[in-house]
Every structure is written in C-alpha cells, then in structure tokens.
Amino acid sequence: MNKQQFLAELRKHLFGLPQDDIKQPLDYYAEIIDDRIEDGISEEDAVSDIGDPKEIAKQILIDIPLPKLIKQKIKPKRRLKVWEIVLLALGAPVWLPIIIAVVAIILSVYVVFWSVVASLYAVNLSVAFCGVAGVVGAIIYISMGKTAEGMFALGAGILCIGLAVLMFFGFNQITKGLLWASKKVLQGVKSCFVKGDVK
Amino acid sequence: MDIQLKRGLLDICVLAAIKGEDSYGYQIIKDMKPYVEISESTLYPILRRLESAKLLTVRNAEHNGRLRKYYHITDLGLKRIEDFKDVWQEIISIYNFVTREEDK
C-alpha cells in the first residue's frame, strides 16, 4: 500500500465525521509517512509499519465522544435540497403512516409480552385460590358430616396449593425470559437505526 | 503494565520529549525509542488529549515544501512534569516499603 492508498482507506473508514475530525488524523498520518520516507524508509515500509487503516480509524472513532458520534449519525450529511423538502412534505401521507405503524408494532410487542406475563400470574393466583377454596370446602363438608366429599375436596385443594407454589417459581423464570426477550427485540430495532460503528 | 498507568506515563514522556524544544510527531517517537516504544497510532490520541488539556500547543511550520505540525509545551505542561516527579518520589518510597521484607 502506498501513502495515497493508506490515506484514502483511512478517509473511507472515517466517513461521516465532521470535516475537522477527518482532516486532523489524515494530516497527522500524512506527515508521519512523509517524515519516515525522508528518513530513508521506503514508502511501502513507511506505510505498512503504521498499521491497518481500518484499526486506526476504529481507534479514532472510539476516542470521539458518543454524543458527537450520535449527532453526526442523526444530522443529514448535507443540506436538504428544496425538491427534497417538497418531496418530504408531499410524501407525508406515505411515510407518516409507516412510522406510526412501526411504533404501533413495537408497542404491541410490548403489550403482548406484558399480557402474557399478567395472564401467567392470573392463572397462578386462580389455582392458589382454588386450593384455598378446596380446603375451606373440605372443612365445611366434614362439619356437615359428608366425609367422603370432604376428603376429595381436601385432596384437590392441597393439590392446587402445591401446584400454585410450583407454578410461581416456573412463571418467575418464564417472566425473566420474556423480559430478556423484549429487551433483545428493542435492541434489534435500535440497531436498525444505528448501524455498525462503535458501540 | 497496567494500561491506565502506562497511558499516564506515556503522556508524561511525550511532554518530556517536547520540553527542551518544540518537536514533531516522528521526532518525538524517535526520541522516545531508546527508553519506551510508542507507535504512531498510540501517539496520535495522546497529542490530541494533551492539546485539549492545554498542556501543549500546536503550530504549523513549513518543511521541504509541506506543512509539519510542531508541538510546544505550555506552562501547564511543565507543571504536569513537575507534579509527576513529586508523585514518583512517593511511589519510590512506597516501593521501598513494599520490598523491605525481601531485603532482610
């Protein structure tokens, strides 16, 4: 790789940064390479010793504060032309519903997650309630002299209580999993907008 | 060596390299070489950091028909070197304390 190729490669990987943040490292590395060549090192060696331009660009990006990076991502690379603004305004009936739809989808994913969690605990609660009702029923049956029915209700009630306790732990795990999954979904959506680069 | 420690030490080394007279990137690396290896890509963020901390200033000067950036140490930079010397005295006495058992 010669000097020009190195600098072009570096510039390519810094694309999108403010002009100053691109020019400064390019000037620095151009000067270093020139000085090395002046010192009697061949251009090829002078460049290759410096390292991979991609790695160097990554390091430069890491050192740039995050707010600046994000602002750069959101800001358009250039001023919008008049016809683009007109097109944006005229296109509002098209892109506005799309954005609303995307937001609605994200929202509904959340609602689904939470309603699954809510229904799980509702089931748990009702099984627990059945258990208590069974035991209470058993006491009433037995006090009324219906021993067989009372025993049946007692067994069913205790079974339900046991089931409810086991369910509670199971559902806790499921809820944890769902929360994790919903976080992943949100991260996935976010990564669509902030492509690649430095995390 | 601990990365954080090394980073701080390299900052001081770069300041020391321009303490006597203004210097430029390649010369700084060459001057440091007998004492501590530093690569071009390591030096760059250090120079930027020292500049934004106002420990050094940058000026462009022509050399062989191209521009070269010369780095000049500020009073704040000189003070940083002095502070470092004081801190290092402390570290030496801590070192002496840590190794005192071994000498016995």
A36 and A99 part of one domain:
no
Q: Do B12 and B81 touch, CB atoms closer than 8 A?
A: yes
**Which pLDDT score is estimated for A70?**
65
Domain boundary, last residue among A78, A112, A130: A78
Residue A88: inside a domain: no
Residues of B in contact with A27 (CB under 8 A): 67, 69
Specify the pTM.
0.55
Tell me which H or E stretch contains A120.
helix A92-143
Six token digits for residue B93: 């006495």
- Confidence label for A71 from pLDDT (cuts 50, 70 and 90): low
Q: Do B26 and A25 touch (CB under 8 A)?
A: no
- Distance from the Cα of residue A181 to its chain's centroid: 10
Residue A87: inside a domain: no
Q: What is the ipTM, given to two decimal places?
A: 0.85
Domain boundary, last residue among A40, A55, A78: A78
Residue A198: inside a domain: no
A164 and A113 part of one domain:
yes
- Confidence label for A77 from pLDDT (cuts 50, 70 and 90): low
Q: What is the mean pLDDT of residues B75-82?
A: 95
Q: Please state, in angstroms and as integers, the Cα–Cα distance from residue A181 to each residue in A100, A184, A187, following that order.
A: 23, 5, 10
Domain count, chain B: 1
A114 and A68 part of one domain:
no
Residues of A in contact with B25 (CB under 8 A): 28, 31-32, 35
**Which pLDDT score is estimated for B30?**
92
A58 and A132 part of one domain:
no
- The residues near A86 (Cβ < 8 Å, ≥ 6 apart) are none
* CATH number of B88's domain: 1.10.10.10
**Which pLDDT score is estimated for A17?**
79
Task: Give the distance from residue B68's alpha carbon to the nearest chain A alpha carbon, in angstroms.
Answer: 6
Q: What is the mean pLDDT of residues B29-55?
A: 91
A32: nearest CB among B25, B48, B66: B25
A50 and A97 part of one domain:
no
For residue A39, the enclosing domain spans: 3-78
What is the dihedral sign for C-alpha A142, A145, A148, A149? negative
Domain count, chain A: 2
Residue A129: inside a domain: yes
Nearest to A197 by CA among A37, A22, A47, A70: A70
Nearest to A18 by CA among A81, A59, A60, A55: A60
Q: Do A181 and A110 touch, CB atoms closer than 8 A?
A: no
Nearest-10 Cα torsion for A167, A171, A172, A173:
110
A50: nearest CB among B24, B40, B66: B40
B61, closest residue in chain A (CA to CA): A31
Rg (CA), chain B: 16
Is 50 exceeded by the pLDDT of residue B11?
yes
- The residues near A57 (Cβ < 8 Å, ≥ 6 apart) are A10, A13, A14
- Distance from the Cα of residue A89 to its chain's centroid: 31
A11 and A51 part of one domain:
yes
For residue B45, the enclosing domain spans: 3-103
Tell me which H or E stretch contains A73.
helix A66-74
- Confidence label for A102 from pLDDT (cuts 50, 70 and 90): confident
Dist CA B8 CA B11 (whole Å): 5
